[in-house]
Amino acid sequence: MTVSALLRPRALRPGDLVVIASLSSPLPAAYEPNIERTAVILERMGFRVRRAPLLEAERHRWWSAATPAEIAAELNGLLRDPEVRAIVASDGGQTVFGYLDLIDLDAIRSDPKPILGYSDISLLHLALHARTGLVGFHADMAVPGFGSAWQTVSPARRAELSQLYSRLLTSTDPIGPLPTSPTWECWRPGRAEGHLIGGVINRIALVQATPYALPLDRFNGAILFWEELGGLASYVWSYLHVLRHSGILDRIAGMIVGVPRDITGLDETLTLAEIVLDVLGNRPIPVLGNVDIGHAGPNLPMPLGISAALDADQRTLSLLEPAVGP
Q: Write out the catalytic residue numbers.
A: 119, 227, 295
Q: Which has the closest alpha carbon to 258: 219, 205, 201?
A: 201
Per DSSP (E only), the strands in 239-313 are 254-258, 287-291, 302-303, 307-311
Confirm if 106 and 158 have CB atoms less than 8 A apart: no
Confirm if 21 and 89 have CB atoms less than 8 A apart: yes
Enter the DSSP assignment of 323: S
CA-CA-CA-CA torsion sign (198, 201, 207, 209): positive
* Distance set, CA 317 to CA 10, 49, 204, 279 (Å): 24, 31, 21, 23
CA distance 2 to 25: 33
Confirm if 215 and 208 have CB atoms less than 8 A apart: no
Count the neighbouring beta carbons within 10 Å of the beta carbon of residue 207: 23
Confirm if 252 and 223 have CB atoms less than 8 A apart: yes
* Distance set, CA 309 to CA 14, 29, 98 (Å): 30, 41, 35
Q: Which residues of 4-13 are buried (b: 16+ CB within 10 A; e: fewer)?
A: eebbbbbbbe
Confirm if 292 and 323 have CB atoms less than 8 A apart: no
Q: Partners of 153 in the beta sheet?
A: none
